[in-house]
């Protein structure tokens, strides 16, 4: 059973400008593993924007309650290329409250726009 669906888009250049303009924003939005490619290099703006869009979509799938912490959701990609979510803390508590057992995630970025869809399933 589907508990919730969320979708979000982020303009890559605008998101990158926000990161440059606001010191510390990266640490408030992302866990360390989200900032690095498997090679150890820093992720580019499109990759970070799509992860942010996924977190926004996740919040919407959970009904956008107050008190969720950005770093309580981690977006990662399996070796197969399948994007996944790892939740803890405030996000895991809300998911448990709603009966969420599985997450489905789709990520895309093209033409300067990052988009994500998240489905929360019981």
Give the tokens for residue 72: 């309580």
Question: Residues marked as binding?
Answer: 8, 56
Whether residue 73 contacts residue 91, with contact meaning beta carbons closer than 8 Å, is answered with: yes
Give the tokens for residue 110: 């093209």
Question: Residues marked as binding for Mg(2+)?
Answer: 8, 56
Could you tell me where the DSSP H helices lie in the chain? Answer: 12-21, 25-29, 32-35, 45-61, 89-98
Give the tokens for residue 76: 């990662």
Whether residue 114 contacts residue 3, with contact meaning beta carbons closer than 8 Å, is answered with: no
């Amino acid at each position: 059973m589907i508990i919730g669906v969320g979708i979000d888009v982020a303009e890559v250049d605008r998101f990158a400008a926000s990161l440059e303009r606001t010191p510390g924003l990266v640490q408030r939005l992302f866990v360390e593993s989200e900032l690095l490619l498997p090679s150890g290099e820093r992720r580019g703006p499109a990759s970070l924007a799509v992860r942010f869009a996924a977190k926004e979509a996740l919040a919407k799938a959970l009904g956008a309650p107050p008190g969720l912490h950005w770093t309580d959701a981690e977006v990662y990609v399996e070796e197969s290329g399948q994007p996944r979510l790892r939740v803890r803390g405030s996000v895991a508590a809300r998911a448990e409250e709603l009966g969420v057992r599985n997450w489905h995630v789709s990520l895309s970025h093209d033409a300067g726009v990052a988009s994500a869809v998240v489905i929360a399933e019981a």
